[in-house]
Amino acid sequence: MCQEVGHILGLGHVDEDFNNPPSGTCMDYSADPEPNQHPNQHDYDMLEIIYAHLDSVDTYKSSDDDGGGNGNNGRGGGRGKPEGVGNNMDLNDPSAWGQSIKEDAQGNKSLFVKDLGNGEKLFTFVTWIQ
C-alpha cells in the first residue's frame, strides 16, 4: 500500500532488483519486504523537492475566474492546460520527450523531462515491455 501511495504522489522505485539487499523504503522491490514497510528519509526528501513551493502562485485560493486553457490564460480551475503548452508535440516520437533523467533496473531510459519554457516542464514516464 505504501508503495502505491508513493507512486500516486510522484515517487519512483529506489531499486527494482529483488536480489539486492533491502534499502529500508517501501519504494523498493525486495525479496525481504520486512524492513521496507515505510518511507525513508530519501522518500520524504524527494516529496519535498516535488512539492516545493518556489513561486508566488497560490493554487489553493478560490477564484471567480474560469481557469485553465479555455480562454482564461491558464489561471487554474481544473479546465485544461494553459494555452500553448504542448501544442504541436508528437509524444509518440521519443525525440519529443526531452532529456532522459532516470533508467530502470534493466538500463532502459524510463523518465524524461522537457523544459517547455515559462516555468513549464513536461515529464514523460516510460514503461518498457519485454
For residue 111, the cross-strand partners are: 102, 125
Sign of CA dihedral 51, 55, 61, 62: negative
Residue 44 counted as domain residue: yes
CA distance 5 to 7: 5
Residue 91 counted as domain residue: no
Q: How many domains does the chain have?
A: 1
Helix (H, G, I), strand (E, B) or coil at 117: strand
Residue 17 counted as domain residue: yes
Residue 2 counted as domain residue: yes
Q: Which three cell numbers stand for residue 121?
A: 516542464
The predicted pLDDT at position 99 comes to 93
Question: Which pTM value belongs to this model?
Answer: 0.44
3-state helix, strand, coil in the chain (%, to 5): 15, 15, 65
55 confidence band (pLDDT: 50, 70, 90): low
Structural domain that includes position 9? 1-53
Residue 88 counted as domain residue: no
Cβ neighbours of residue 77 closer than 8 Å, sequence gap 6 or more: 63, 65, 66, 67, 68
